[in-house]
Structure 1
Amino acid sequence: MRFSRNATGTLFVGGAMALTLAALAYPGMLGLDKVSSSPDRIIADTQWGPLTEQDRDFVVKVRAAGLWEYPVGQIGLQKGSSKAVITASQHLIDGHAALDTTCRKIAPMLNITLPNVASPQQVGFVNQLKSESGKQFDTDFANILRMTHGSIFNTVAKIRSTTKNSLVRALADQANDTVLDHITVMEKTGLVDFDQTLFQQTTPPKLPDSDLTPPPPAAGQPEVVLTPPPTATSTPVDINGIAGGNGAPGSGANPNPNPSAG
């Protein structure tokens, strides 16, 4: 099965935060195996609670996940050859559009810089699935997505249980529900090879950090927006309810998005 040869690693990616020091603006050594050398280090005190390195990196992980899983969902709607794969594709688009809205709202409030493109490894997943069709596509689609969501599920739980930042905590709540939903719909395809998927999930290969970290956005580049589908059922976090009406402005959906970035 092609998945066993080519689809490797997990969904964990690194992060970026726009601080006053340029050296901290977009860390280059935040790879898939570790969020940072000091994940519990507080990098900013905000009105919503202290922000640690792992908090910051988590926000970027969620954003980067959408930058490749959203277009994979679009591909699945076109190439999926079973009703279950089509349904799973719809859930990817719906769930990540809502998560993307939350990420884009809280990122400027926490002074976090978000990527516009997924990591090279994640782009590789997209390119692999673009090149496939029929049963091969359905099988690799289900296994790759089950593996990546299973990998980040533990990270979501860790952030939710340890963060002292209310905005990050709200994002973790939403991500927990979304990731569990996506795990479930992948399993409902009946195509998941659990032995192979769990092996890939628990023993990711050692890849260069450059393959695992999304590049920083180019200067002046418009922010990529993942637009919710017309029949969206997933709901972004009510940031105004948490922030007391001080939510970030300009975070609504872009009428002319580029959802295929990555």
Structure 2
Amino acid sequence: MRFSWNVTGAFVIGGAMSLALAALVYPGALGAGTASASSDPVIAQTQWGPLTEADRDFVVKVRAAGLWEYPVGQIGLQKSTTKAVVTASRHLVDGHAALDTTCRRIAPLLNITLPNVASPQQQAFVFTLTADSGDQFDADFANILRMTHGSIFNTVAKIRSTTKNTLVRALADQANDTVLDHITVMEKTGLVNFDQTLLKQTSAPTLPASDLTPPPPSFGEPVVVLTPPPSATSTSVDIGAITAGEAGGGAVPGSGSTTG
């Protein structure tokens, strides 16, 4: 199957473009359900605060995003014909390696199972960009990634403003900075078609949940690691400082209530 940003309808997988990361949840076998918009069920009480379905799904979304955007960044470093897209590719690899480290550190603490493979929709994005070349690659790269990052940006803000879990809040802080950075570098390529991108970004999803959900790992399967580049500038959350601070009863940044 071939997808192209410039061919009407061909970029769609089974219908209008859905929000790339708007509904990623695991099947019931892994204990993940779709959180209600009106009630956010608490699924576990942890020493870092209650963990809700939305919190857990957010950690999975961040992990799944890295599983396709990190390799796409590596492809961009090899195939792009413009300096701006090469720069954006470096930001993808750097930022998602750091986010992935945080996800892998907090997941076992919160008893969250992480995927090792992106969703079918996300894998289709990788297929598109792998098949592209030249100017088509650069254009698809900038528009696909601007759309997907724009889609997840509001989700990051919602989790950051509502979660009561210190570890999830720390991940949301890091994700907010990373997603905004990636939106910015995509826009700086000068290749983003905002009319098309924003339309696709805000269109209601039409794909089945199976296309939006990363498959669960096989039993005993090693966790895939996204290795930081040698020149990495992004850093993961210092989970040790958070856990040590809470164990000692000290104040932890972002863990208490604030006013104003």
* TM-score, normalised via structure 2 length: 0.86
Which segments of 5 or more consecutive residues in structure 1 lack a partner in the other structure? 18-22, 248-262
- For the residue of structure 2 that corresponds to 1:45, the secondary structure is strand
Offset at 1:221? 1.1
User: Structure 1 residues 129, 39: closer, same or farther in 2, change over 3 A?
Assistant: farther
Pairs within 5 Å for 1:183-222: 183-222=183-222
State the AA in 2 paired with 1:25. Answer: L
Contact 1:16 1:112 in 2 (8 A): no
- For the residue of structure 1 that corresponds to 2:45, the secondary structure is strand
- For the residue of structure 2 that corresponds to 1:226, the secondary structure is coil
Mark the structure with the bigger radius of gyration. 2
Offset at 1:26? 4.4
Whole-Å separation in 2 of the counterparts to 1:119 and 1:136: 24
Q: More deviation in 197-206 or 40-49?
A: 197-206
Pairs within 5 Å for 1:99-110: 99-110=99-110
2:20 aligned with 1:11: yes
Residue 30 of structure 2 corresponds to which residue in structure 1?
A: 25
* TM-score, normalised via structure 1 length: 0.86
Q: Kindly, what percent of the aligned residue pairs are identical?
A: 71
Figure out how many residues of one structure are paired with residues of the other and give that number: 237
Residue 54 of structure 2 corresponds to which residue in structure 1?
A: 54
Offset at 1:95? 0.1
Offset at 1:160? 0.2
User: Structure 1 residues 39, 156: closer, same or farther in 2, change over 3 A?
Assistant: farther
Contact 2:102 2:171 in 1 (8 A): yes
Residue 152 of structure 2 corresponds to which residue in structure 1?
A: 152
Whole-Å separation in 2 of the counterparts to 1:164 and 1:245: 17
State the AA in 2 paired with 1:240. Answer: G
- TM superposition outliers: structure 1 runs of 4+ over 6 Å: none
Q: More deviation in 4-13 or 49-58?
A: 4-13
Residue 20 of structure 1 corresponds to which residue in structure 2?
A: none
Whole-Å separation in 1 of the counterparts to 2:136 and 2:174: 31
Residue 95 of structure 1 corresponds to which residue in structure 2?
A: 95
Contact 1:38 1:53 in 2 (8 A): no
Offset at 1:14? 1.9
Contact 2:85 2:138 in 1 (8 A): yes
State the AA in 2 paired with 1:117. Answer: V
Offset at 1:16? 4.3
Offset at 1:10? 2.3
Residue 253 of structure 2 corresponds to which residue in structure 1?
A: none
Whole-Å separation in 1 of the counterparts to 2:157 and 2:96: 18
Offset at 1:158? 0.2
Whole-Å separation in 1 of the counterparts to 2:69 and 2:152: 13
Residue 68 of structure 2 corresponds to which residue in structure 1?
A: 68
Whole-Å separation in 2 of the counterparts to 1:100 and 1:170: 13
Residue 180 of structure 1 corresponds to which residue in structure 2?
A: 180
Instruction: Please report the RMSD computed on the Cα atoms of aligned residues, expressed in angstroms.
Output: 2.0
- For the residue of structure 2 that corresponds to 1:221, the secondary structure is coil
Contact 1:16 1:25 in 2 (8 A): yes
Whole-Å separation in 1 of the counterparts to 2:197 and 2:162: 28
Residue 2 of structure 1 corresponds to which residue in structure 2?
A: 4
State the AA in 2 paired with 1:220. Answer: G
Contact 1:39 1:54 in 2 (8 A): no
Offset at 1:205? 3.7
